[in-house]
Amino acid sequence: MFSRLSQLARHLSRPLPNYAHRSAAASPAILSSKMTSSSTSIQQKKMIHTAGCIIIGDEVLGGKTVDTNSAYLAKFCFSLGIQLKRVEVIADDEDEIIEAARRMSKNYDFVVTSGGIGPTHDDITYQSIAKAFNLELKLHEPTVAKMKKFSRPHKSQPNFDWDKPSAALTAKLRMAQLPIDPRLPEEDQVLYVKEDLWVPISVVNGNIHILPGVPRLFEALLEGMKPRIMPLLKDPEGKGTYRMLFSTPLAESAVAEYLTSLAAKVEPKGIKVGSYPRWGKGRNIVTLVGIDRDYMDSLEAEVAEGVKGRRVQVEGEDDTDDETDPKKDKDA
C-alpha cells in the first residue's frame, strides 16, 4: 500500500499536520521489546500516564495544510486511557524544535512528533531532535535496506540507481539519517511496526517518537505501536477513558452552580466535568470523563436530575426540528 518511495518523498517532506532532561544514554526506549537487564528495571517503573504532541511544519502554521494527526492521536490516547496533556504546532525551526522536544520529553511520558522527516532542505526534525539530546545522525542501514525493498523511484526519475551517487539518492537517504546513541541498542531506538512499510519510528530520549506527517502513515505507525504501549498502561487491558454525555435544555448559566458542586465532588476520583453550549440547538451538553466506570455510572440519575436532562449516547440524538432558534439563550 505504501510501496512507492517517490510518493513518500513528496508527502513526508511536507508535514501535516517523563523524563527529566538527560542524556539518552541514561534513559531506555520505553517501547522496546528488547532491553538490557539494567534498563528493564527502569522501564518497569515508568508507566505511560500522560502524552504530548508536537506538530512540526510551516505549512500548518501558514494555513496551507490542515493538521489531522493531533486529532487522531487524541482519540488514540483517549481509547487507551492516556491523558493527552498538550498539543503544540511549531515551525520548521531548529531552535523551536529543540526547545519543544526537551520540554515535552521532561513533562510527559509519551511524546509524539509529526512532520519534517522528508528529503528536502526544510525537513529538519531528525537533526534538530538529535541536537536537542546531544546525539549524532547515523545512516541507518536497515532502514536503507527497507527503502530499497519497499519503494521504487518516481516515473520522473527513470535513471535512478541506488548504487550510483546522485542528488536524488542523497535526498532519499536523508530520510534514513536517524538520531542514534551508540551506547544503547539500536533496536531500542528504531522501531518497525509495519512489516510492509520501510518508514521507521525513531525513539529519542526514551519517550520521543518521531513520526511522519502524512496522515495515513502517521495513523498506521501509531496503531502499530499499540502492542508495545499496552503493557505500560495503568490498565493493560486498554479499556480506556470513559465519557458520559448528558443532554440538557438549560443554559450554561442555569447549570453552572450545580456543575461546580459536582466537579468538586468527583475530582478526588479523577473525574472531570465539562459543559458545552450548542449554538442554534435547543439542548446543551454536559460531560463526565474519567476511568472509574462503576462510580460514574452510579451518578447517572443524580446528574440527569441536576441538569434537568438525560443521558445520551451521541450528541444531538434528542434534537428536534423546533429547537433550532439561534436567538435562544445558550450562553454561547
Separation CA 247–CA 243 (nearest Å): 13
Separation CA 135–CA 266 (nearest Å): 45
Within 228-320, strands assigned E span: 242-248, 272-276, 284-290, 310-312
User: What is the DSSP track for 69-132?
Assistant: HHHHHHHHHHHHT-EEEEEEEE-S-HHHHHHHHHHHHHH-SEEEEES--SSSTT--HHHHHHHH
pLDDT reading at 137 higher than 60? yes
For helices 69-80 and 215-224, what crossing angle results, to 10°? 20
From the CB of residue 35, how many other CB atoms can be counted at a distance below 10 Å?
Answer: 19
CATH number for the segment(s) 50-232: 3.40.980.10
Separation CA 54–CA 269 (nearest Å): 30
pLDDT band at 331 (very low <50, low <70, confident <90, very high): low
Ordered by start, the domain boundaries in the chain are 50-232, 242-312
- Of the chain, the percentage scoring pLDDT greater than 70 comes to 83
For helices 215-224 and 5-12, what crossing angle results, to 10°? 100
Cell of 242: 470513559
- Of the chain, the percentage scoring pLDDT greater than 90 comes to 72
Contacts 24+ apart (CB under 8 A), 303-306: 303/244, 303/246, 303/262, 304/246, 306/255, 306/258, 306/259, 306/262
Mean pLDDT for the stretch of residues 89-103: 98
Mean pLDDT for the stretch of residues 244-257: 96
- Which residues in 148-160 are b (16+ Cβ under 10 Å) and which e? eebbebeeebeeb
pLDDT band at 157 (very low <50, low <70, confident <90, very high): confident
Separation CA 11–CA 8 (nearest Å): 5
Separation CA 184–CA 109 (nearest Å): 19
The mean pLDDT of the chain is 85
What would the pLDDT profile of 203-244 be if each residue is shown by its tens digit? 999 999 999 999 999 999 999 999 999 999 987 776 789 999
Mean pLDDT for the stretch of residues 12-30: 39
Separation CA 137–CA 325 (nearest Å): 59
CATH fold of the domain at 242-312: Alpha-Beta Plaits (3.30.70)
Largest Cα–Cα separation, the chain:
74
Q: Residue 146's pLDDT is what?
A: 94
Q: Residue 322's pLDDT is what?
A: 54
CB of 178 within 8 A of CB of 137? yes
pLDDT reading at 297 higher than 90? yes
Sign of CA dihedral 243, 298, 255, 329: positive
Q: Residue 238's pLDDT is what?
A: 63
β-strand 110-114 against 83-90: which pairing, if any? Answer: unpaired
What would the pLDDT profile of 29-59 be if each residue is shown by its tens digit? 444 333 333 333 333 347 999 999 999 999 9
Q: Residue 284's pLDDT is what?
A: 96
β-strand 110-114 against 208-211: which pairing, if any? Answer: parallel
Count the alpha carbons within 13 Å of 122 in the hemisphere toward its beta carbon.
13
The phi, psi pair for 81, rounded to 5°, reads 80, 20
